Structure 1
Amino acid sequence: MKSDPHTLFDNFDLLIDDGLILVDPNGEVVRANQSSLSTLGERIINQPLEYYLRHPDINQAIDNIKEFGETSPLTYLRYDDVQHEYVVKFAPFPDDHCLVRMNDVTARISFDKIRSEFVANVSHELRSPLTTLTGFIETLQTTAADDPKARIEFLAIMREEAGRMQRLVDSLLSLSRVESQEHLHPNDDVQMTDVVKEVYDLMTHRAAQCGMRIELINNLPQKLNPIVLGKKDELSEVLHNLLENAIKYGYQNSTVKFILETDEPKKMVQISVVNSGEGIDEIHLPRLTERFYRVDKARTRKLGGTGLGLAIVKHIVNRHRGRLQITSERGGETVFTVYFPIIGA
């Protein structure tokens, strides 16, 4: 019994989520599923496939299928709002038809690229302190073995570099945890006034060590203690990281404002950290929450930054259905504001 290519196409379409296109012996599209129509457009039916899937080897691939029964997949790049990459495969079908399958691999390639860049960045961040430690260990074992002054100096530097690696590892573990749980919304009732006060008490001493002070400004309506559905430790981590950044990059002897208020129209609690410093150029603002992105790499490393703090903040804020906003003026104020929905508001 002769197989009908149209019926076979419908059976394949039920099993496969990718774009599927049925091409007749003349190279014209006779059937296409919704996925392929969304990609190439509704007008592809009864038109040569080469008009819409523009690739120099498309016709040769279809001819190879008819003549040899097989051909190599093609890589097809399509530019819409963003670039998409497809792996296009071909299979022989009854009556000299050809089945074309379009597999969108954009997400996989993007993930592989991000993973590769992440591994490269971590390796780079660890290599520098490890090289320093190795060099000083070798020196202490040889030329400085009997030099007490050098030993004290080198051990202090080694301790600093080991601390730098420890901070990086701790940040990586924290980032891994919040990324893996980002899709799971926490459900504890957290009183934000208490969180803000605890973080303020903790960071006041840290600011004083840097010749700065933190001014806590509570602009909440009287007796209001907004409750957020969340995880207290993670919300504390967000505020701690923002204050830590404000202290690191603020001018000495300046004041960091720590402001608690509500955004009444949107029923959100609004917490801002404001510092006075060199500021951040607008071009950098959209990328500040990227892992290992630094405006001034040398300065960040000198101040002990890992380049992961704001990435952690972003993922925690997302997990709590919140929002992060950043504004800055060169030589003026930099403002980091987080918003979280209030329960029962």
Structure 2
Amino acid sequence: MSAPQFLFDHEEAGDVDRVTTYYSRLKAHRWLMVGALFIFACLLLGGWLKPMQAFLSSFAIIILAMLAPVQSRKARINAEANALSQTANDLHIHAISNAINDPIMLISSTGTLLYANEDAERAFGRIEIGTPIVLRLRSEEVRTLIRSTLDGVKTGTIEFVEKSPLERWFSVSLKPVSSDATKPQYLMHFHDLSETKKTDKVRSDFIANASHELRTPLASLMGFIETLAGPARNDEVARDRFLKIMQDQAGRMSRLIDDLLTLSRFETAWGQSSFEEVELKAVLTHVTNALSPMVSQTGSTIKLSFAGGLDEALKLRGNRDEIIQLFENLIENAIKYGKDNGQVNVDVSEDAAGQNFIVEVRDDGPGISEEHLPRLVERFYRVDVDTSRGKQGTGLGLAIVKHIIQRHKGRLNVKSKLGQGTSFFVALPKIQSK
């Protein structure tokens, strides 16, 4: 059997490889050679070079082009692959950043901004790419975090407050995300703590206010008990007077505890499983009748009126007991803070779209200054502390009103001017007739 016939042997293959290499180098440097030959031609025509010098120079340029290394095909492929990988990595980071509902920034090893997602722009405003991040976030805590992280120090999470345009609290972490050691990148993640801080403050204020409200009548009770057990033991006149005061203070504590429990129940009961069809006219009639003894004591009157065509079929979906408490609190406040022998008006209408009932509870009292109106529904907020306590107010009635209205998907509005009384407007969704 004859030996297999190869198209060329190893030596021939080596020669072919060399020729291919030389050709590829010439092709890679072709424009450089064209430029050099053009210059030599110009010098030759201008008499600056002799023909032999021009030939030797051109020959030398060609030899140098054949010997000059060029980037191999494999190297080019690897470089292109790395560039594509880096681009894909950047796109991946951007996509993840936009999917997170927190401000995210990507910064370079020099602390300049490379990318910011939409939440970051909403939180801190637009920041130009390439801007040093410390020029925008001037918090010393953030500066220290960035400096330490870029220096290679392992850092944790810090908190800082951004005061402009609104005061907001953030927790911030900064971590490296790039695997390219020559171009390190760092991801800065901001988590908004404003609501948590606000809730903590509200809780802290609530505990402090509740403790204060309970401490006063409790201290009064303890003082009178000690007096009755000691110096006034046999003083019948003092005993009767002290017992009446003690009864009032105990009643105040009882009302406060009842309101605290009610408020706690409304704050945790977001469901509407106990809702049913409620007749608004029947509820308002029940409330005005229930408050008639209080009206008699002050000499006031309650006038309940309905807009044309609304005295029947006033149906809404809700919890009847809660709606009763809602209007009891509002009308009772109107009686307390209105004029003696005055009038409380309860007017029922509907909005222009016919979607909601509008119940206005209006008194003829001294009115409320405009700066107090936004805070009326805060727990324990009082326009006049002495007047409120003198009228046996706990400071929680309007907070309870707010939560009941929220549970029924309604709205509350207040209008008042000094010397012209106060009006509370309650909008509650009506059941639409089919």
Q: Confirm or deny a common fold (TM above 0.5).
A: yes
User: Which has the larger share of helix?
Assistant: 2
2:425 paired with 1:325: no
- Give the Cα–Cα distance (whole angstroms) in 1 for the partners of residues 247 and 311 of structure 2: 47
Residue in 2 aligned with 1:53?
Answer: 137
2:174 paired with 1:90: yes
- Give the Cα–Cα distance (whole angstroms) in 2 for the partners of residues 34 and 262 of structure 1: 41
What is the identity percentage for the equivalent residue pairs of Structure 1 and Structure 2? 36
2:340 paired with 1:256: no
- Give the Cα–Cα distance (whole angstroms) in 2 for the partners of residues 14 and 331 of structure 1: 54
Q: Which runs of 5+ in 1 are unaligned?
A: none
2:111 paired with 1:27: yes
Residue in 1 aligned with 2:372?
Answer: 284
Displacement of 1:154 after TM fit?
Answer: 1.1
Which range moved further: 125-134 or 271-280?
271-280
Displacement of 1:307 after TM fit?
Answer: 0.6
* Structure 1 pair 218–8 and aligned structure 2 pair: CA distance change class (3 A): closer
* Structure 1 pair 223–207 and aligned structure 2 pair: CA distance change class (3 A): closer
- Give the Cα–Cα distance (whole angstroms) in 1 for the partners of residues 186 and 149 of structure 2: 7
Letter in 1 for 2:402: K
Matches within 5 A, 1:169-208: 169-182=257-270, 184=272, 187-208=275-296
* Structure 1 pair 344–7 and aligned structure 2 pair: CA distance change class (3 A): closer
Residue in 1 aligned with 2:210?
Answer: 122
Displacement of 1:190 after TM fit?
Answer: 0.8
Letter in 2 for 1:116: S
Residue in 2 aligned with 1:336?
Answer: 424
Displacement of 1:222 after TM fit?
Answer: 6.3
Match of 1:62 among 146, 151, 154: 146
Q: Which runs of 5+ in 2 are unaligned?
A: 1-81
Q: Check whether the contact 1:69–1:91 (CA below 8 A) recurs between aligned residues.
A: no
Which range moved further: 239-248 or 221-230?
221-230
* Structure 1 pair 196–74 and aligned structure 2 pair: CA distance change class (3 A): same
Displacement of 1:11 after TM fit?
Answer: 9.2
* Structure 1 pair 100–250 and aligned structure 2 pair: CA distance change class (3 A): same
- Give the Cα–Cα distance (whole angstroms) in 1 for the partners of residues 431 and 165 of structure 2: 37
- Give the Cα–Cα distance (whole angstroms) in 2 for the partners of residues 79 and 60 of structure 1: 18
Displacement of 1:78 after TM fit?
Answer: 2.8
Which range moved further: 30-39 or 293-302?
30-39
Letter in 1 for 2:186: C
Letter in 2 for 1:259: D
- Give the Cα–Cα distance (whole angstroms) in 1 for the partners of residues 296 and 155 of structure 2: 70
Residue in 1 aligned with 2:11?
Answer: none
Residue in 2 aligned with 1:234?
Answer: 322
Which range moved further: 200-209 or 155-164?
200-209
* Structure 1 pair 133–97 and aligned structure 2 pair: CA distance change class (3 A): same
Match of 1:110 among 175, 182, 198: 198
Per-residue CA distance 1:120-171 (angstroms, 9 max, x = gap): 1101101110110010111111111122222221111111100000000111
- Give the Cα–Cα distance (whole angstroms) in 1 for the partners of residues 189 and 380 of structure 2: 38
2:398 paired with 1:310: yes
User: Which has the larger share of strand?
Assistant: 1
Q: Check whether the contact 1:324–1:338 (CA below 8 A) recurs between aligned residues.
A: yes
Cα RMSD (Å): 2.7
Letter in 2 for 1:213: T
- Give the Cα–Cα distance (whole angstroms) in 1 for the partners of residues 369 and 142 of structure 2: 47
Residue in 1 aligned with 2:305?
Answer: 217
Q: Check whether the contact 1:70–1:90 (CA below 8 A) recurs between aligned residues.
A: no
* Aligned positions, number: 344
2:332 paired with 1:244: yes
Which range moved further: 48-57 or 167-176?
48-57
* Structure 1 pair 20–277 and aligned structure 2 pair: CA distance change class (3 A): closer
Higher RCO (Cα < 8 Å, 6 or more apart): 1
Match of 2:162 among 78, 87, 112: 78
- Give the Cα–Cα distance (whole angstroms) in 1 for the partners of residues 143 and 345 of structure 2: 65
Letter in 1 for 2:218: L
- Give the Cα–Cα distance (whole angstroms) in 2 for the partners of residues 59 and 79 of structure 1: 16
- Give the Cα–Cα distance (whole angstroms) in 2 for the partners of residues 266 and 81 of structure 1: 39
- Give the Cα–Cα distance (whole angstroms) in 2 for the partners of residues 254 and 29 of structure 1: 66
Residue in 2 aligned with 1:18?
Answer: 102
Q: Check whether the contact 1:182–1:315 (CA below 8 A) recurs between aligned residues.
A: no
